[in-house]
């Protein structure tokens, strides 16, 4: 269904760039009086060791602007706007933006309405913004992988970059209106509202990775202890070098390069796949010294996941198959990705120990299972589990 767009969309292709504190203060006062506004960010995470927000796109009513946080020093009013739950913030795929706002400025976001989440609950499997706008509004926006990956810290912004940035927020208001209509008709508005609230909370929580970062390099699970020691040493060297020259670690050495040197520690650096020649010239001696130090030291034993020590029993395997089959069939019936209906981690815990039903299907403080999932599907899931477990209590 094609939705009418703002009458002056053509003028939005030349959005105002805000670089002065006075102008931002005036705009933020205007935003404080609206019911909702659209927001997105661009960062330089692919070009710096610690990426930062380099542009904040804002759209409301028939206005649009690009706020330059590299030029405007006091953004406290932006934090107040984001944290005001009475003003709806329209975003698309907000997870990263929410974490960036909180990590860099301590800003919490309340009143979120995420159109990517809405698209998933309307049945889209891969709802990137361009595909979502084309599907629901018949709007075709300019998308460029080159601009998406460009260094947004560079100034001045080109006209092409401005148009690209503006397109990320230009159509979110009519898109949100379309989703409110569709999800209301489907009876799923309370589903997405709970998802929005979870995203708001997650945006203020640091995601702590499990175990050392070098163990997450693909292929590291096939290294012996001495090779793991080399990988660990080179990983730390890469981090320190990346921080020193202020680039992402992958631009110093790729993971394939690290893995090759860990497997073949006596090979010539120049022969390692993807090894930058300038790195060999600048830091070759240091790399070789780190490899030798790791080879002389004790090896590194890879921690074994508890789950690997306790493979599921045959009966648990049968139960997980039954539970996942129910979820797949239910997803097909509703036209939704099955993963939305019930968390896989919860299904696996139930399959291993059906006596956990009260914790998984009824407890309001379960971190994985949503309230709307329990309301809609707990009784049905319990029936499936009952059929798969001979002594399951009625």
**What kind of fold does domain 9-202 have according to CATH?**
Nucleotidyltransferase; domain 5 (3.30.420)
Q: How many helices (H) and strands (E) does the chain have?
A: 18, 6
Whole-angstrom CA distances from 110 to 87, 169, 184, 199, 290 are 8, 18, 21, 10, 47
Whole-angstrom Cα distance, residue 139 to residue 220?
44
* Residue 386 confidence (pLDDT) above 60: yes
Q: What is the pLDDT of residues 30-73, one digit of tens each?
A: 999 999 999 999 999 999 999 999 999 999 999 999 999 999 99
* Residue 7 confidence (pLDDT) above 60: no
* Residue 390 confidence (pLDDT) above 80: no
pLDDT at 392: 54
What is the band of 305 on the pLDDT scale with cuts at 50, 70, 90?
low
Please tell me whether the peptide bond between 344 and the residue prior to it is cis, using omega within 30 degrees of 0.
Answer: no
Whole-angstrom Cα distance, residue 4 to residue 340?
31
pLDDT at 389: 81
CB proximity list for 144: less than 8 A, separation 6 or greater: 160, 164
- As a whole number, mean pLDDT of residues 346-369 equals 95
* 377 and 360 Cβ atoms separated by less than 8 Å: no
Q: Which residues pair with 58 in a beta bridge?
A: 39, 65
What is the band of 306 on the pLDDT scale with cuts at 50, 70, 90?
low
What angle in degrees, to the nearest 10, is found between the helix axes of 225-245 and 277-296?
140
pLDDT at 13: 59
* Residue 10 confidence (pLDDT) above 50: no
* Residue 208 confidence (pLDDT) above 70: no
* Residue 285 confidence (pLDDT) above 60: yes
Whole-angstrom Cα distance, residue 26 to residue 40?
20
Encode burial over 329-338: b for 16+ CB neighbours within 10 A, e otherwise.
ebbeebebeb
* Residue 227 confidence (pLDDT) above 80: yes
pLDDT at 288: 98
Q: Which residues pair with 36 in a beta bridge?
A: 88
Question: CATH assignment of 213-296, given 2.60.120.10, 3.40.50.300, 3.40.50.1370, 1.10.150.80?
Answer: 1.10.150.80
Across the chain, mean pLDDT equals 93
* Residue 320 confidence (pLDDT) above 70: yes
pLDDT at 283: 96
Query: How many Cα atoms sit within 13 Å of 50 on the Cβ side?
Result: 6
* Residue 393 confidence (pLDDT) above 80: no
Whole-angstrom Cα distance, residue 34 to residue 87?
7
Contacts by residues 42-45 (CB-CB < 8 Å, ≥ 24 positions apart): 42/152, 42/165, 43/100, 43/152, 44/151, 44/152, 44/153, 45/248
pLDDT at 388: 87
Whole-angstrom Cα distance, residue 66 to residue 116?
22
Whole-angstrom CA distances from 191 to 25, 329, 370 are 36, 19, 9
* Residue 243 confidence (pLDDT) above 60: yes
What angle in degrees, to the nearest 10, is found between the helix axes of 172-186 and 189-202?
130
pLDDT at 2: 45
Q: Which residues pair with 39 in a beta bridge?
A: 58
If one compares 182 and 209, the residue with the highest pLDDT of the two is 182
- As a whole number, mean pLDDT of residues 65-89 equals 99
Nearest to 64 by CA among 88, 81, 40, 35: 40
* 260 and 273 Cβ atoms separated by less than 8 Å: yes
Torsion sign across C-alpha atoms 283, 287, 293, 299: positive
Residue 303 CB neighbours (<10 A): 10
Residue 248 CB neighbours (<10 A): 15
Torsion sign across C-alpha atoms 264, 268, 274, 275: positive
């Amino acid at each position: 269904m094609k939705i009418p767009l703002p009458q002056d969309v053509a003028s939005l292709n030349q959005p105002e760039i805000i670089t002065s504190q006075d102008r931002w203060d005036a705009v933020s006062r205007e935003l404080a009086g609206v019911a909702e506004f659209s927001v997105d960010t661009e960062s330089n995470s692919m070009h710096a060791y610690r990426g930062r927000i380099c542009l904040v796109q804002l759209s409301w009513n028939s206005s649009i602007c690009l706020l330059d946080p590299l030029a405007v020093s006091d953004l406290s009013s932006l934090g107040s706007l984001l944290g005001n739950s009475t003003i709806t913030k329209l975003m698309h795929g907000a997870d990263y933006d929410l974490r960036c706002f909180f990590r860099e400025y301590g800003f919490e976001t309340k009143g979120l309405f995420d159109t990517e989440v809405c698209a998933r609950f309307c049945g889209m499997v891969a709802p990137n913004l361009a595909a979502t706008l084309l599907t629901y509004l018949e709007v075709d926006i300019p998308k460029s992988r080159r601009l998406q990956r460009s260094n947004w810290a560079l100034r001045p912004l080109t006209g092409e970059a401005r148009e690209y940035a503006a397109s990320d927020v230009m159509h979110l208001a009519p898109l949100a209106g379309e989703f409110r209509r569709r999800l209301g008709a489907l009876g799923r508005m309370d589903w997405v509202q709970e998802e929005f609230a979870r995203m708001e909370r997650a945006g203020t929580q640091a995601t702590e990775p499990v175990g050392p970062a070098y163990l997450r390099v693909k292929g590291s699970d096939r290294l012996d202890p001495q090779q793991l020691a080399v990988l660990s040493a080179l990983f730390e060297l890469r981090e320190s070098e990346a921080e020193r020259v202020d680039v992402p670690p992958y631009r110093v050495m790729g993971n394939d390069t690290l893995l090759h040197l860990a497997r073949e520690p006596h090979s010539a650096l120049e022969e390692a796949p993807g090894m930058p020649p300038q790195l060999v010239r600048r830091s070759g001696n240091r790399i070789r010294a780190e490899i030798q130090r790791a080879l002389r030291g004790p090896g590194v034993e890879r921690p074994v996941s508890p789950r690997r020590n306790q493979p599921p029993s045959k009966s648990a395997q049968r139960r997980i198959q039954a539970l996942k089959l129910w979820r797949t069939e239910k997803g097909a019936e509703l036209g939704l990705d099955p993963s939305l209906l019930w968390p896989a981690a919860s299904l696996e815990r139930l399959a291993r120990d059906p006596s956990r039903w009260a914790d998984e299907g009824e407890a309001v403080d379960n971190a994985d299972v949503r309230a709307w999932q329990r309301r809609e599907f707990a009784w049905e899931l319990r029936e499936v589990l009952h059929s798969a477990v001979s002594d399951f209590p009625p």
